[in-house]
Amino acid sequence: LSLSAPGFETTQVNGIRVELGQRARVDVRLKVGSVTENVTVSATAETLLNAESASVGQVINEAPIHELPLNGRNFLQLAQLATGATPVGTGVSPATSWTGRSNTTISISGLRESDTSYLLNGIETRNARFGNVGIRPSVDAIQEFRVQHSTFGAEFGRSAAVINTTLKSGSNDIHLVLFDLLRNRNLDANNYFANAAGLKRPPFSQNNFGTTLTGPVWLPKIYNGHNRTFFMFNYEGLRQRQGITSTALYPSAAQLKGNLADDSAGTGLFPTNSAFCQANPTSLKCVDIIDPTTGRAFPGNVIPSDRLDPTTQKVIPYIPSPNVATASGTPKFPTFNTAGAPKVLNDWDQYNVRIDHQISSKDLIFGTFSRSDETLFRPSLHFLGGDNFPLADRLWTFTYNRIFTPTIINEFRFGYNDSRTFRLSEGSYGKDYAKDVLGLKNTSSNPIDFGIPAFSIAGFGGIGSLSEAIGAEDENFQFSDNLNISLGKHTIQTGFQISHQRYYQVTDFSGNPSFTFDGRFSGDPGIGLADFLLGNPYQAGGAFGDSTQHLVTTYWGGYVQDDWRIHPTLTVNLGLRYEFAASPREINNRSLYFSPDLGQVVTAENGV
């Protein structure tokens, strides 16, 4: 920054750093002197004031991004350093439950996680379905990011908190970063339950690797490209295999054939008049299994083979066999008799590219492309009981900055974001077990719902696949323009945002049939094995049809803001913003509800 005036020394201030989202002011005193004299000042934290805005936030710049240890290299971990920011645990919110990840969202100032807007180069990447961030750029590709909340300028909208991130640009020098982080189980302790089950340490391997290259683009002189065009390329990959010690209680082979008094797996149910029960009258194992058709107990707690339900018998091949020895006749149910270490699979590949070009001293353009593909598979101890959580994102951004005069600057942005987030069964797109194996009728014919029907037997581990398929693809076309004008004591900013969104979602609840057994029909509440063998569920669920929807909507926002410097020590921020978010419209008229007033179903076509 160079300042000069007749009769004063020319003063130059070096090392000014304007952080992301900051309206900075540098106060400089000119000394009386000859116009031929020059004074050079180095900027300090005290030199650069943030007195122009009442915005509350915190900037995380390159130093902590590069120097703080991050297990997982996720920049949202650093966002937790900001005041009022806290992580959201898995299972307590839609985003963490349906994406299978606890590192894609953050709660700020006690707000819902979906109330946080995630901007990358000024373009919104927040997923419309679950509210999670789309692109989580590699920390090596980030220049800096800012967490803003509570109060901020009128240029931001659609949320109560903003995490504003920018990708780094190239420079005149070539910079290359290579890294490879390898972890395995060699120095890990064994899990307590794995030790109890006689299992070895669960397998674990993690390889996190990548590169970042920045520098200039030397174009032929005819294009005047030298020292005007710069690039940044970043790639990061993750390969993780982690065995999770899983334990559960499952019936013995004899019990699945009807002999519920068998105790070879430590789960037997003895008749109340048996010798065991006479010696242990308070034992939970002393139960008479009742025949629901007669109201009398099955002799010896053995269900005849001709009474076993043919449908549930077809499920038995998909029930795990106990593999942990238990003491026969134990007076209470064991914690588990089956153990294993199925592997969680987590693969991630991400690319970030940025090209900057200085057209002239007044015109700057830059564009970026980011691509992320994540595969997360969480297995289960039982066959086809795992969950798949595919997550993918494509982001294009373009920015054009134009300096019309020293007091008038315009910024135009365009962005296209394509985000895909799903939770699927391990059996999705596989075999139709409900129809082809179990012979069930009126089940879903959508391959996304396929899997083994879920059988929940009270007192025992799970059987079957996830009963639902849920997710969405979100396409977002965004345009924005911001004009800054400096008029003496007034700094005026005005602009608009337009976001056209296409949203393709599927919500197939109970697409894979489910059955629940709790023992109420066989006289043993809390233990559902006899009801299962007899084919008497107390609850069943299923659905068929097609729940997919193609929704479109357009968001409009406009604002004007005046930062009025009334006095050198007093600045007033005045802003007005107007937003209109139209209700989504289903293009195939598949949004509907029943109107009691009209006595008919109302669809999107006729006025939903």
Q: Where are the beta strands (DSSP E) in 488-545?
A: 490-509, 514-517, 539-541
Q: Which residues pair with 201 in a beta bridge?
A: none
Looking only at the bridges linking them, the beta strands covering 570-581 and 549-567 are antiparallel
- Phi, psi at 482, each rounded to 5°: -130, 125
| Residue 528: count of CB within 10 angstroms of its CB | 26
Query: Which of the 8 DSSP states describes residue 450?
Result: -
Q: What's residue 42's pLDDT?
A: 64
Q: In angstroms, rounded to a whole number, what is the distance separating the alpha carbons of residues 256 and 174?
A: 68
Q: What's residue 330's pLDDT?
A: 46
Rounded to two decimals, the pTM is 0.83
Q: What's residue 453's pLDDT?
A: 96
Looking only at the bridges linking them, the beta strands covering 38-42 and 10-14 are parallel
| Residue 508: count of CB within 10 angstroms of its CB | 23
Q: In angstroms, rounded to a whole number, what is the distance separating the alpha carbons of residues 490 and 488?
A: 5
Looking only at the bridges linking them, the beta strands covering 161-167 and 175-184 are unpaired
CB 391 within 8 A of CB 418: no
Burial class (CB in 10 A: 0-12, 13-18, 19+), 383: middle
Q: How many residues does the chain have?
A: 608
Residue 78's H or E segment, with its range, is: helix 75-79
Looking only at the bridges linking them, the beta strands covering 116-120 and 123-124 are antiparallel
Q: What's residue 196's pLDDT?
A: 66
CB 475 within 8 A of CB 417: yes
Tokens (6 digits) for 321? 């066999």
Q: Where are the beta strands (DSSP E) in 54-113?
A: 56-60, 85-86, 107-108
Q: Where are the beta strands (DSSP E) in 254-362?
A: 338-340, 343-360
In degrees, to the nearest 5, what angle opens at C-alpha 39 toward C-alphas 37 and 43?
A: 165
- Which of 326, 358, 137, 120 has its CA nearest to residue 230? 358
Q: In angstroms, rounded to a whole number, what is the distance separating the alpha carbons of residues 118 and 126?
A: 6
CB 270 within 8 A of CB 285: yes
Instruction: Tell whether the torsion through CA atoms of 38, 44, 50 and 55 is positive or negative.
Output: positive
Looking only at the bridges linking them, the beta strands covering 38-42 and 48-49 are unpaired
Q: What's residue 223's pLDDT?
A: 53
CB 190 within 8 A of CB 201: yes
Q: In angstroms, rounded to a whole number, what is the distance separating the alpha carbons of residues 203 and 376?
A: 17
Q: Where are the beta strands (DSSP E) in 379-489?
A: 387-388, 391-405, 408-425, 454-457, 468-487
Terminal CA-to-CA distance of the chain, rounded, Å? 58
Query: How far, in Å, are 43, 66, 102, 420, 563 from residue 181 at the CA level?
Result: 38, 15, 22, 28, 48
Q: In angstroms, rounded to a whole number, what is the distance separating the alpha carbons of residues 105 and 131?
A: 8
- Which of 210, 228, 208, 231 has its CA nearest to residue 219? 228
Q: What's residue 332's pLDDT?
A: 42
Q: In angstroms, rounded to a whole number, what is the distance separating the alpha carbons of residues 446 and 442?
A: 12
Q: pLDDT means per 10 residues in the chain (608 residues)? A: 82 79 74 68 54 62 75 83 76 76 83 87 89 90 86 84 91 91 80 69 89 85 67 95 89 93 81 87 86 92 94 96 66 69 93 94 95 95 94 96 94 96 94 95 93 94 93 94 92 94 91 94 85 95 89 94 88 92 84 81 60
CB 260 within 8 A of CB 268: yes
Looking only at the bridges linking them, the beta strands covering 454-457 and 514-517 are parallel
